[in-house]
Amino acid sequence: MIEVINDWIKNPKGRYQEGVAIFKACAPTEMSKNFLAYFEAEKGEPKQFDMPFPILVNKVSFIRDLIALNPDQFKDVKLTIVKTPDNSEELELKNKEIEALKAEIEAKEIEIEELEYDAEENKDEISEKEAEIEELELKLEELGAEFQKLKDRRGIQIVHFDNLPPEIRKLYDRVKEITPLMASLHADISVPKLNNMKRKSLVNQLVKLDDERRAAWDVIDDWSEGKKVEFSEGKQPIEYSADKVVKGAQIARRIDRLKENITRSRTVADNAERQTIKQNALNRTASYEAELTELEKLIKTD
């Protein structure tokens, strides 16, 4: 989480709404009460040194320091960068529309100020200008909503632990289990008088746990980046009905499912950038193919 926030603090230009997302997820209650509405009221993408941008950078920096001091307080919040198609040109065009509309509203407000020097004589014209401003402000709200939708397609994604996919939650929980186990093994291995055979056994355990942890983080990272990831299915044996007709239908459905899984896993293996992800997909493919062979034999026998 700290890395994501630091990345934003180093380069906040053009990423105002991402900063607001960080603030909304992590700000203490009192700070959120005082500033969130102010930050969210900004339409479009303000310039880096226009208010409220510098204030937002200051508050996000404060939040970053809070997280560093007390990480447990923020353990159920995950910030991830979501890799999505570049829509920066579309955002820029929409932002120009918003800026032009703001300038038009400001110009009409100046006109009203000039007319108010003789308000009684110009009251009809003032009312007309005020009505025009009201229409423009409604249009500004609409453009702001459209701009926000474009912004939501990319950038920082706020994910609370309880809302993570079940498979990702399991991986996080497993990583939490592995970390103290590895620390304990490190401590045992460092004992000077430890028997060589015992030390070798402990080292093998440590290597296996480290491989498992790295593989888990590979899947978590791919998911965080918006890549399609596959999860291993449970190893519990499937129980088929004693009735031959029902059993045949169940096996036929399972065969269709296995063929889909094989196709999907092969695609993942072909496109995987990380060796661990590729190997896991190949392992799943082999497992699915073995089960498919057995079921096809069973169908022929029955």
For every residue of 62-109, DSSP letters joined together read HHHHHHHH-GGGGTTEEEEEE-----HHHHHHHHHHHHHHHHHHHHHH
pLDDT tens sequence across 189-239 = 888 888 888 888 888 888 888 888 888 877 776 666 555 666 654 444 556
Residues 6+ apart with CB under 8 A from 175: 213, 216, 217, 220
- The strand pair at 155-160 and 77-82 is best described as antiparallel
Q: Which residue has the higher pLDDT, 54 or 43?
A: 54
Token pair, residue 200, equals 């070798």
Rounded distance between C-alpha atoms, residue 285 and residue 281, angstroms: 6
Q: How confident is the model at residue 4, as a pLDDT?
A: 80
SS3 269: helix
| Position 75 pLDDT exceeds 90 | no
At 62, the pLDDT band (50, 70, 90 cuts) reads: very high
Who's near 10: CB < 8 A, 6+ residues apart? none
- Position with higher pLDDT, 84 vs 176: 176
pLDDT tens-digit series, residues 252-300: 878 887 888 788 778 877 876 656 567 767 877 887 888 888 888 887 7
Give the max Cα distance, the chain: 102
Cβ–Cβ < 8 Å for 150, 90: yes
pTM reported for the whole predicted model: 0.37
Q: What is the mean pLDDT of the chain?
A: 78
For 6-24, the pLDDT digits (tens) are 888 888 887 887 888 888 8
Query: What does the pLDDT look like over 152-164, one tens digit per residue?
Result: 554 555 555 665 6
Is the pLDDT at 188 greater than 80, yes or no?
A: yes
Tell me the C-alpha distance between 257 and 236, whole Å: 16
Q: Which helix (H) or strand (E) holds 160?
A: strand 155-160
Secondary structure class of 141 (helix, strand, coil): helix
Provide the pLDDT for residue 58: 93
Percent of the chain at pLDDT exceeding 90: 4
**Predicted pLDDT of residue 243:** 66
**Considering only 8-12, 26-30, 142-146, which range has the smallest mean pLDDT?**
142-146
How far, in Å, CA of 18 to CA of 16, rounded? 5
Residue 184: its pLDDT value, please? 87
- Confidence (pLDDT) at 302: 62
| Res 56: pLDDT | 93
Q: For residue 37, what are the CA distances in angstroms to 93, 142, 149, 207, 234?
A: 26, 18, 18, 50, 46
Q: How far apart are CA 251 and CA 50, in angstroms?
A: 65
